[in-house]
């Protein structure tokens, strides 16, 4: 175990635009899997062809989540699309409910 400590000041990017190849590498998925997710509008990259597609950081979470749902629960892509939309909706509703409870119903 090294005791040496490094201080690194790092810059970062919030809206890195990632290529298909990079996304596949980061998420350990195949290009075909990502193509299917795009077909079902689970992720929406900019660009018109797989070669020019650019993904956002927030897409990575969706791609990983889709992969896990397919692998662990055996859901197909169409099912994943429905499920992810429903989960997004539930998240929005929960947030909204929290606001109602905090600012409207508490007297």
What is the nearest approach in angstroms of another protein to the Cβ of residue 45?
Answer: 16
Q: How far is the CB of 72 from another protein (least distance, A)?
A: 6
C-alpha–C-alpha distance, residues 18 and 57, integer Å:
8
Phi, psi values for residue 97, rounded to 5°: -60, -40
CB of 12 to another protein, least distance (A): 4
Q: Which residues, in sequence order, are CB contacts of 3 under 8 Å at separation 6+?
A: none
**With respect to another protein, which residue has the nearer C-beta, 25 or 48?**
25
Contacting positions for another protein (CB under 8 A): 1-2, 4-14, 16, 25-28, 57-58, 60-61, 64-65, 67-69, 71-73, 83, 87, 95-96, 98-99, 102-104, 106-107
User: Closest Cα partner for 80 from 68, 94, 100, 66?
Assistant: 66
């Amino acid at each position: 175990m090294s005791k040496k400590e490094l201080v690194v000041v790092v810059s970062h990017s919030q809206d890195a635009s990632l290529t298909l190849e990079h996304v596949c590498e980061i998420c350990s998925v195949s290009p075909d899997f990502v193509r299917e997710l795009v077909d079902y509008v689970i992720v929406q990259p900019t660009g018109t062809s797989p070669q020019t597609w650019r993904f956002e950081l927030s897409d990575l979470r969706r791609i990983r989540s889709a992969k896990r749902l397919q692998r662990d629960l055996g859901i197909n892509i169409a099912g994943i699309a429905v499920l992810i939309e429903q989960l997004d909706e539930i998240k929005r509703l929960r947030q909204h409910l929290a606001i109602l409870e905090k600012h409207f119903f508490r007297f």
